[in-house]
Amino acid sequence: MKIYIDGKFLPESEAKISVFDHGLLYGDGVFEGIRFYNGRVFRLEGHLDRLWDSARAIALTVPLTREEMTTALLETVRQNELRDGYIRLIVTRGIGNLGLNPENCKGASTIIIAASIALYPEEQYRRGLDVITCGTRRMAAAALSPQVKSLNYLNNILAKIEAMQAGAGEGLMLNEQGYVAECTGDNIFVIKRGGLMTPPISAGGLRGITRDVVIEIAKELGVPFHEPELTRYDIYTADECFLTGTAAEIIPVISLDKRMIGTGKPGPETARFTARFRELTQSSGTPIY
């Protein structure tokens, strides 16, 4: 495997960062997870938009131009001779000292990894996920905006640990007001009486790239779409439920807190959205080769 670090392509065994990098010391940096299918990077521009927005929000200057970043990203995939897979694009604050002051960092660092990924076993896509509600609440937007895709994912990790200890496939996170925000790594959608719903971004979830694609598909298919504030009641009583994320793609949910959702099996609308999503991933995107 070849990994890009600050202009160089290095074998995995030689790809190293300083122990004084503030991305390691303090989680000071931003990242994107990006999919590529059939030799094309899916929704690359949307991911780069979000990366630059995240960096601007934390006063971090991305050390490459958009054109340079695109070139480096595509070349990383080529170096690894991949046609389908996952890209982890990271920008850290860079090397500093043991103090918090970001002005002591010499300059931001860029890391690009291209590899394969399977977030959930294939069986769970066929059967559906069991989800539990986590006691860990989503971090308040006034503390750190959930729109910043930062290197500090401890809030999500603590919730993920709860889900794992409960034997669930994922964990639902509520905000401080008790409304549904998102899951530990994915956005959540419900289908009720033919309509599609997902929490508004103001509830504390990340504006997911796959989330946006599903909303576009709903318009294309003529499915009514709304973004109301949701509670667990709305998920318990949904006809269908599914999660979305770049790594997860679209995965059905069949229960919340051991309460069956709908028929307890992946539903036909979820299948319809999944089929259209897969069509888009195979036929669109930025060419790699």
Q: Which residues are catalytic?
A: 149
Rounded to 10 deg, the angle between the 66-79 and 44-57 helix axes is 120
What is the Cα–Cα distance from 74 to 109, expressed in whole angstroms? 18
Three-state SS for 214? helix
Token pair for residue 271? 């299948």
> In angstroms, what CA-CA distances link 243 with 41, 102, 107, 131, 180?
21, 36, 37, 10, 13
Residues sharing a CB contact under 8 Å with residue 79, sequence separation 6 or more, in sequence order: 2, 4, 9, 114
Kindly list the distances between the CA atom of residue 169 and the CA atoms of 118, 180, 236, 257, in Å, as whole numbers in the listed order.
14, 17, 17, 11
Nearest-CA neighbor of 31 among 95, 107, 111, 143? Answer: 111
Q: Find where tokens 């309509």 sit.
A: 195
